[in-house]
Amino acid sequence: MSNADRPRPLWPFLVALGVAVLVLSIVAGLLIRPYLGFPVSGPDGGDGVGDSYFPTAGGGGYDARDYRIDLSYDESTRGLAGSTTMTAVATRDLASLHLDLDLAVTRAEIDGRKVAFVQTGRDVHVRGTRLLAAGEQFTVRIEYAGQPGAISKGDVLMKEREVVIANEPFAAPYWFPSNDHPSDPATMELTMRVPADLQALSSGSLISRDIADEPDFDTWHWRSDEPMATYLNFLAIGPYDIEEGRAGGRSALYAVSRQLPDRRRERAMTALRTTPQLVAELEEIWGPYPFTEIGGVVPSTSFDWGALENQPRPVYSRRCIAG
């Protein structure tokens, strides 16, 4: 039998086929890896922005631009449940990043894809499935739930039907995940679902009072298009008298707890109505007021401070403003 008549060996073909399958498998794995949720290796932003006084406050490697907070309040447990979506821009290449939140995280997403996370105390370490390039805009969505009052050490104040989350410098992690450091301000938006006989107050403009159209619940929608530090946002839930109007070309909103005695409630609302005059007097000293809204909130809960500079609606101690 001549060499030409002999059958060709199969091993070269099988080797070539095996190499091709291996290459295609690697390529396919790299292409679908982001969809499988496997963490990618690479630089971590780090826990903390580099503040020597508060080394673990916030996270590095990104600049938060906006927070969209969607929550529901269960009065029977005083618990919050929902999600927050942060829009941010990477300031350097990032494979993972850190947020601050005290409530229990149940799911994390980057750009709409489920990703791995590790929560250690207040730190939430979110691990991406692809490398975020410096200058790239992205979103992080965190689902979570918990009882802020069971965790807080003085930043969550409760009395009868009221819950107030307001303090400095670290009140934000008791109700929404964030890059919790004053060096990274961002715009804020909140939709807050509460029982229909309660009100939900926060920072910014009141967009609507009931977008959910439920008989037993109201959903309050607040929006602040002027960036603020995370601690300047606040949440107050309870029975409130609310007065709205305009003064000096700005929208004004004043709220006083109905849990205060009538006389103190009247004194508090009267004092809040002097806000436009006080702003005008201060503008003569310090220059133009930088916000489009004014107002104030007076809960019935007790604070260690007289007032907190929540933007643009300070939260006042009832003792200081109502006597």
249 and 214, same structural domain? no
pLDDT tens-digit readout, 13-33: 555 555 555 544 454 454 455
pLDDT at 27: 45
pLDDT confidence tier of residue 153, bands split at 50, 70 and 90: confident
Bigger pLDDT: 292 vs 14: 292
Q: Is-contact 164 44, C-beta < 8 A?
A: no
User: Residues 261-274: what's their mean pLDDT?
Assistant: 96
Mode of pairing for the β-strands spanning 307-308 and 315-316: antiparallel
Is 33 inside a domain boundary?
no
Rounded to whole angstroms, the Cα distance separating 256 from 259 reads 9
* Structure token digits, residue 321: 């403003």
Is 51 inside a domain boundary?
yes
Torsion sign across C-alpha atoms 256, 237, 69, 309: positive
Domain with residue 95: its CATH number is 2.60.40.1730
271 and 148, same structural domain? no
Of 193, 208, 238, the last residue of a domain is: 238
Is 200 inside a domain boundary?
yes
211 and 140, same structural domain? yes
109-126 burial code (b ≥16 CB/10 A, e <16): bbbeeebebebeebbbbb
Q: What pTM, to 2 d.p., does this model score?
A: 0.87
Is 190 inside a domain boundary?
yes
218 and 90, same structural domain? yes
- Domain count of the fold of the chain: 2
Share of the chain above pLDDT 70, in %: 88
Of 238, 260, 288, the last residue of a domain is: 238
Share of the chain above pLDDT 90, in %: 79
pLDDT tens-digit readout, 178-207: 999 999 999 999 999 999 999 999 999 999
pLDDT tens-digit readout, 238-251: 999 999 999 888 99
pLDDT tens-digit readout, 213-226: 788 999 999 999 99
322 and 259, same structural domain? yes
196 and 120, same structural domain? yes
191 and 71, same structural domain? yes
Torsion of CA 243, 246, 247, 251, to 10 degrees: 90
184 and 161, same structural domain? yes
64 and 183, same structural domain? yes
pLDDT at 28: 44
Dihedral pair phi/psi, residue 210, rounded to 5°? -155, 90
Rounded to whole angstroms, the Cα distance separating 208 from 319 reads 31
Is 12 inside a domain boundary?
no
Note down the domain range covering 283: 239-323
pLDDT at 142: 98
DSSP state at residue 262: H
